[in-house]
Structure 1
Amino acid sequence: MSMPNLTRDAFLGGLLHLWQPRDGYRAGVDPVLLAATIPAVSGQRVLELGCGVGAAVLCLGARVPDLVLTGVERERQYAELAARNGAGQLEVVQADLAELPLTLRQRQFDHVLANPPYWRREASVSARNPVKEAALGEQTALALWIQVAAKRLAPKGYMHVIHRAERLPDLLSALPSDMGSIEVLPIAARAGRSAERVIMRARKSGRADFRLNAPLVLHRGDHHVDGDQYNPEVGKALRSGAALRF
């Protein structure tokens, strides 16, 4: 992994810098939004499945101090970069989530988060870069991501998953029976547009009624214009790591 093949990119307005491959999958807005919605408090244990270079879990760690952070990543290059980006603050386990090591299966976490690959390859074209394809193409069934996340939760722990809006029925149907207090946050690019993403929150042994929240609208105005047009709450989450409330 040579230095010319990497870039060091600023997140959260420079509060966090991450090494990423110049070519291949690169973290964008979605993991930052995911991290912003997690109601973690200092001292809690956090696990990210498929952590990539660590964007989501490290953004959360930048907002909430003294978390115990763990990431699981199958691809060696990304696992190494996540460990480098974590600089001792993030424990990285290189493993397939379908075959987690026993040492991890014996642990429980207060929060488990995931940004699974978005594209089912029977209905889309594979990426040429094999590492990028592993990040974008659904090689492991979405239901397995949900089941593994639920198993790793401590009682009353929270699961957060971001995905395409059309996969919401799959997310909900994959939840085990002991997951409740389900909430969904739709994410729309602009007011009046259909949601393109959703964040699903569920709680181990939760008993609250299902809740479909008002959409989080990312941009002001009804069409793209030059400059930063994020709505204020979204801009604060992206630029300074502020929390986003469901």
Structure 2
Amino acid sequence: MSEIHTRDAFLGGKLHLLQPKKGYRAGVDPVLLAATVAATAGDRVLDLGCGVGAAALCLGARVPGLVLTGVERQPLYADLAQRNGGSTFEVVTADIVDLPLHIRERQFDHVLANPPYYKRSDSRAAHDADRETALGEETPLADWIKIAAKRLAPKGYAHFIHRVERLPEILTEMGKRLGSIEVLPLSPRTGRMPELVIVRGRKNGRGAFRLHTPLILHEGSRHEKDADTYVPRVKAVLRDGAALTF
């Protein structure tokens, strides 16, 4: 193993991903996002800002036969994503605001995105440059949503995971371009406010807005010990690669 990379198990060992030892490292967020995607074999999937490929490849491990494409602007992460996915994953090194023509000419059944969470106008930048690129917003969130909507085929779905405080902006921007919008809040524990949301919208969708019951991630009302405390439903996603239905 390289001195600068680790090979980490996801989905209970069903998937292994090369990741940098330092910088941004994929956690549970892209795994949970992928678990909510109701894809079927043959669907075309685009992962915007794919990093090392965690979301797309977790989805591909659960649903065989998908056509997976990722876009990542950092060459180091794009290279690792390609190595992680091999021939089953087309990885394009590009900024999402400057997609190459062969991506702009295509439509996708599902677009996934785990954009940078933090506006640097009201938060402090990370010291590590690669980590800052992954966490600190440079491209406005509105552009992520607009680009995702453009790349969707009719009746296709956009899937986002983000901080709950950005939900008003997500709903505003999705509402301009997508319909049938659904929100799944993610709460760390019983009695705690949600910190993340997974939001799904459909191109040409006409369904009513739906706000789902929060998904509780951990057992107990507070952290008491360093152990695996995920509730069974979440543990099935993280350890067994199960789907997570809204």
Q: Which residue number in structure 2 is paired with residue 24 of structure 1?
A: 23
State the alpha-carbon separation in 2 of the partners of residues 176 and 96 from structure 1: 24
Identify the residue that residue 76 of structure 2 maps to in structure 1: 77
Secondary structure of the corresponding residue to residue 125 of structure 1? coil
Is 174-183 or 9-18 further displaced after alignment? 174-183
Cα contact 2:146–2:177 (8 A) shared by 1 = no
Q: 1:144 is paired with a residue of what secondary structure? A: helix
**TM-score with structure 1 setting the length:** 0.98
Distance apart, 1:184 and its partner CA: 0.2
- For 2:90, what is the secondary structure of its paired residue? strand
Which runs of no fewer than 5 residues in structure 1 stay unpaired? none
Task: Tell me whether 1:126 sits opposite 2:125 in the alignment.
Answer: yes
Identity value in percent: 63
Letter of the 1:24 partner, please give it. Answer: G
Conservation of the 8 A alpha-carbon contact between 1:150 and 1:176: no
Alignment size in residue pairs: 245
- Which residue in 2 is equivalent to 1:243? 243
1:67-121 deviation digits (Å, cap 9, x = unpaired): 0000000000000000000021110000000000111000000000000000100
SS of aligned partner of 1:87: helix
Specify the SS of the correspondent of 2:176. Answer: coil
Distance in 1 (alpha carbons) for counterparts of 2:87 and 2:137 = 30
Post-superposition shift, 1:225? 3.1
Kept in 2: contact 1:180–1:208 (CA 8 A): yes
Which residue matches 1:228?
A: 228
Give the CA deviation at 1:244.
0.4
Distance 1:103 1:176 in 2: 27
Q: 2: CA distance between counterparts of 1:210 and 1:174?
A: 14
* TM superposition shift of 1:172: 1.0
Moved more, 200-209 or 221-230: 221-230
Matched ranges for 1:67-146 at <5 A: 67-146=66-145
**Does structure 1 residue 58 correspond to structure 2 residue 57?**
yes
Residue 10 of structure 2 corresponds to residue 8 of structure 1: no
The separation in 1 between residues aligned to 2:174 and 2:16, in whole angstroms, is 34
Which consecutive unaligned segments of at least 5 residues does structure 2 have?
Answer: none
